[in-house]
Amino acid sequence: MTARTRIRNARLWSAAIGLALLGSACTSVRTAGTPSAPTPGGTEASPAPSATRLMLRAAPFRLRAPVQREVAVSDGSTIYLAGGLDATGSSVAGVFALNPLSGSLTYLGSLPRPFHDGAGALVAGRIVVFGGGASTTTDLVQAFDPASGRARVIGRLPRPLSDLAAATVNGTAYLVGGWDGSTVSATIYATTDGVHFRVAGKLPIGVRYPAVAALPSGLLIAGGEDAAGRPVGDVWRFDPSTGQTSKVTDLPQPVEQAAAFGLGAEVYVVGGLDANGEPSGSTWAIDPSTGRTAALPPLRRPLADAAVALTPGQAWLIGGWRGTAVAEVEEATLVTATPAASSLISTTPTAGGSDPASVRPFAGKLLIADRGNNRLLVVDAKGRVLWRYPDPSLPAPPVPFFFPDDAFWVHRGRAILVNEEDNDVLAEIAYPSGRTLWTYGHPRVPGSAPGYVHQPDDLYPYPGGGMVVADASNCRILFFGPAGRPAGQIGRTGNCTPGLPVTVGYPNGDTPLPDGHLLVTELHAGSISEITRAGDPLWTVRIPSLSVPSDPQRLSDGTYVAADYGSPGAVVRFTSGGRVLWTFRPTSGPRELDHPSLAAPLPNGLVAVTDDFNDRVVLLDPASGRIAWQYGHTNVPGTAPGFLNTPDGLDLLLPGGRTPLHVDFASARVHPGRP
């Protein structure tokens, strides 16, 4: 993370260390509670009540071609797209896998029949498409297996239907409304296998093109087109346990062909066609429990007929229509902020809800690079050790495992990338088998020739495939291709004079952004820069309160956070123009940080910090200034459960295999012999 003194005893010396996206349009703020923290803490910023708001912004990638009225389903980490209308208005049958972290789009195959205006669900790992049509409405149920590439017709609907919507609740897919070629449907069908269907309920009126979102205990159904061909503003709630549909509220304006998704405790209805048949940018928030509806700032551009998919903490509006089909992708997240203009760290929801990304202290698995103990640990939120490496129960490392400085989940949690900084080795280890898949470098033999590195720092997956590492003492940023071989570099090997893009001044951080840019820290310049793949700096700042800047990260609101690797250490949030927005630097007591090397904003609004020389990992709550969670005993190194020794890296794996702190490889499959 930062190019650090080589042994733990450096804390007794006078250290002689050489010096997360695009602009977004945010919606209005609504308050939400912040849970109390279990341990006392503080911050130099005054505590303020937190709030959540919807952030809608253009994703940093586009589809390869325009599409509208397609189907989108998600397994939590990959979004699958099927069918739709292309730019010529023709129905298509292609199936694609979209990695929302990198923007990579992979063609998987085709369904048996082209279609548009169908509904989709993920059923037993298969993409299942219900109805739709090309020249006529169909009753076909088509399925595509992403694992095998096999596509086939698996059944038929009780009646032909297009213009319907689907949402899945507790393993059951519900199909709402639609058009059978002559009449508008009011029926809600349910299926668990895509083959057998039952009538689960009825709408008060028939609608086609409704916007439907899943709730923890049912569906919210908004708008649509009635039998007279007019958009409606009704909002209904469907309860599967009773089969009853009840009116919740009315939208401020009637709309059809809109998108709906649930984030946090609310459902958002976005875009669609208005009463004049024009695409709309309207955005509304609905509280399903009370019916309270709030109009939010509109989309930056009107949009209808977009497909919607959810990944943990995010919703994606993909393609759509704006007078013609579009290739844009819109990303929706919840962010926390304070009512003041200079808000604290703004990330995603504060707590609770069914979204794992919003759970506090965290959901899933926290990976810790326990550097001083020469091991990796995986722990849960209760502090239980789920896995350790090396371990007598696992295969022995093929080369000595020493000084793991950073570790990152890859392949959706099926492997871990590790840079062993003072071992001069890079490695990938399969999880949970512990099998070493790939190594690069020679243990304790630094070098710059092919096959060698010298003090490697921050081995990350790189967008589009391959990896990137800050080869610190060689003063270069080194790229690897998908096969694990060097594929270029930024900097002149051995020249540690700051001078991007030609030379790099001792890099100790190289955080990749989804668009392929890097956030680089140069210790010889004390600077933080965003650079292109070619090394050209887009901006460079030197923050006085970051005397030894370490591992900058970009937040969802376009600001940045970095750790100050010193004693007392700090966490600082700043802009690309160098304006400091927030600083956490207690100078005494249990809050004080000692050489923190990484401050990573979690999607639940907390900030995970490796507090190296305090032998702990802590989760800070910027809104309250408290330490919300801790693993390790402060300044007490150890190997027993609950203890750490100079932890220097961490990463979070959410349920569903999502890595919210960095891009991931496009495939979940691990490859012996290469990354």
Domain of residue 126, CATH code: 2.120.10.80
Query: Which phi-psi region, left, alpha or beta, contains residue 194 (left: φ > 0; alpha: ψ -120 to 50)?
Result: left
- In this prediction the pTM is 0.55
Residues 395, 510: one domain?
A: yes
Residues 528, 422: one domain?
A: yes
Domain of residue 540, CATH code: 2.120.10.30
Whether 293 is in a domain gets the answer yes
Whether 660 is in a domain gets the answer no
Residue 226's pLDDT band, with cuts at 50, 70 and 90, is very high
pLDDT in tens, 367-407: 999 999 999 999 999 999 999 999 999 999 999 999 999 99
Q: Which of 336, 360, 344 has the alpha carbon at shortest distance from 625?
A: 344
Exposure string for 320-353, b = 16+ CB within 10 A, e = fewer = bbbeebbebbbbbbbbbbbeeeebbbbbbbbbeb
Query: Which phi-psi region, left, alpha or beta, contains residue 29 (left: φ > 0; alpha: ψ -120 to 50)?
Result: beta
Q: Which of 621, 663, 649, 285 has the alpha carbon at shortest distance from 463?
A: 663
Number of domains in the chain: 2
Residue 65 pLDDT exceeds 70 = yes
Residue 230's pLDDT band, with cuts at 50, 70 and 90, is very high
- The answer to whether 91 and 134 have CB atoms below 8 angstroms apart is yes
Residue 354's pLDDT band, with cuts at 50, 70 and 90, is low
Whether 344 is in a domain gets the answer no
Residues 112, 178: one domain?
A: yes
Whether 225 is in a domain gets the answer yes
Residues 359, 313: one domain?
A: no
pLDDT in tens, 264-316: 889 999 999 999 999 999 999 999 999 999 999 899 899 999 999 998 778 99
What's the whole-number average pLDDT of the chain?
Answer: 88
- Strand 549-554 and strand 119-123: pairing? unpaired
Residues 407, 261: one domain?
A: no
Averaged over 334-354, what is the pLDDT?
Answer: 40
Residues 282, 358: one domain?
A: no
Residue 544: asked if its preceding bond is cis (omega within 30°), the reply is no
Distance CA 81, CA 66 (A): 12
Residue 207's pLDDT band, with cuts at 50, 70 and 90, is very high
Distance CA 630, CA 609 (A): 10
What is the model's pLDDT at position 49? 37
Lowest mean pLDDT among 230-234, 345-349, 433-437, 451-455: 345-349
Distance CA 381, CA 631 (A): 9
- Provide, rounded to the nearest whole percent, the portion of the chain with pLDDT above 70: 89
- Provide, rounded to the nearest whole percent, the portion of the chain with pLDDT above 90: 77
Residue 338 pLDDT exceeds 70 = no
Whether 44 is in a domain gets the answer no
Residue 150 pLDDT exceeds 60 = yes
Residue 529's DSSP bridge partners are: 520, 540
Distance CA 207, CA 505 (A): 63
What is the model's pLDDT at position 52? 66
Distance CA 368, CA 378 (A): 6
Whether 245 is in a domain gets the answer yes
Whether 348 is in a domain gets the answer no
Residues 319, 404: one domain?
A: no
Following CA atoms 82, 87, 88, 89 in sequence, which dihedral angle do they give, to the nearest 10 degrees? 50
Residue 410 pLDDT exceeds 80 = yes
Residue 261 pLDDT exceeds 80 = yes
Whether 334 is in a domain gets the answer no
Domain hosting 471: range is 8-19+353-653
What is the model's pLDDT at position 670? 81
pLDDT in tens, 164-179: 999 999 999 999 999 9
What is the model's pLDDT at position 41? 28
Averaged over 31-39, what is the pLDDT?
Answer: 29
Q: Cα separations (Å) of 16 from 10, 147, 542?
A: 9, 52, 19
Residue 38 pLDDT exceeds 50 = no
H-only helix segments in 47-205: none
Lowest mean pLDDT among 52-56, 176-180, 496-500, 509-513: 52-56
Which residues of 312-414 form beta strands (DSSP E)?
314-318, 326-337, 365-370, 375-379, 385-389, 404-410
Residues 15, 76: one domain?
A: no
3-class DSSP assignment, residue 591? helix
Q: Which of 343, 379, 375, 387 has the alpha carbon at shortest distance from 362?
A: 379
Residues 214, 300: one domain?
A: yes
SS3 of 208-265 = ECCEEEEECCEEEEECCECCCCCEEEEEEEEECCCCEEEEEEEEEEEEECCEEEEECC
- The answer to whether 179 and 185 have CB atoms below 8 angstroms apart is yes
Residues 438, 378: one domain?
A: yes
Residue 22 pLDDT exceeds 90 = no
What is the model's pLDDT at position 348? 34
Residues 459, 404: one domain?
A: yes
Residue 437's pLDDT band, with cuts at 50, 70 and 90, is very high
Residues 432, 292: one domain?
A: no
Lowest mean pLDDT among 6-20, 114-128, 401-415: 6-20
What is the model's pLDDT at position 120? 97
